[in-house]
Amino acid sequence: MRAPVQDQEAIERALAGEQHAYERIVRRYQHMVHTVCIRVLRNAQDAEEATQDAFVKAWQHLAGFGGNAKFSTWLYSIAYRTAISHGRRRKADGPSVDDLLHHPAAEERDHARGTDIKHHLDRALATLSAEDASVLSFFYLEELSVEEIVTVTGLGASNVKVKLHRGRKKLLDVLNKELGPEARELFLDHA
């Protein structure tokens, strides 16, 4: 599958030296890239740094994007590997969900929705390993196929399937345990 026409055009213009074209790409994908980084790093500040690094790396290697794969998959791959590399450097093991929840942008949006769905989902995802949480996020949120997740993460197909199965089960267990019947109802009403 090729990159969408609007991406392809922006990439070509960026390669021709138009940085505004790349800015359009950044605006289009920054939420997705930031979410990938947050799933891996679980820290808003580190995730923003990794997001910046991922976009700069993507810019540096833009000429190497062949256009044969989806641009988003290519970008996810850079973002995921950059976040993993940041995580190793910082050795920031263990979830810091509070940091996530107190991020100004996240708070603002949660407040706007008047719900704590995000709070519960983030807390439940934080009980999983960074890799499992990322795989679940790629599958459910970004709606990537198993093959695309393999491309992005570099994991084997069977490994991805195991992580999906195991992560899904654990996430459902945590959510079902943490939420009482009323909360589940509220949860589903919002969903």
The binding site for other proteins (CB under 8 A) comprises 15, 19, 22-23, 26-27, 30-32, 34-35, 38, 47-48, 51-52, 55-56, 59-64, 100, 103-106, 109, 117-118, 121, 136-137, 140-141, 168, 171-172, 175-176, 179, 181-182, 184-185, 187-188, 190-191
Distances (CA, A) of 156 to 37, 52, 112, 171: 21, 28, 40, 22
The distance of closest approach from Cβ of residue 62 to other proteins in the complex, given in angstroms and rounded to an integer, is 6
Nearer to other proteins, 115 or 151 (CB): 115
The distance of closest approach from Cβ of residue 132 to other proteins in the complex, given in angstroms and rounded to an integer, is 13
Nearer to other proteins, 35 or 153 (CB): 35
The distance of closest approach from Cβ of residue 155 to other proteins in the complex, given in angstroms and rounded to an integer, is 20
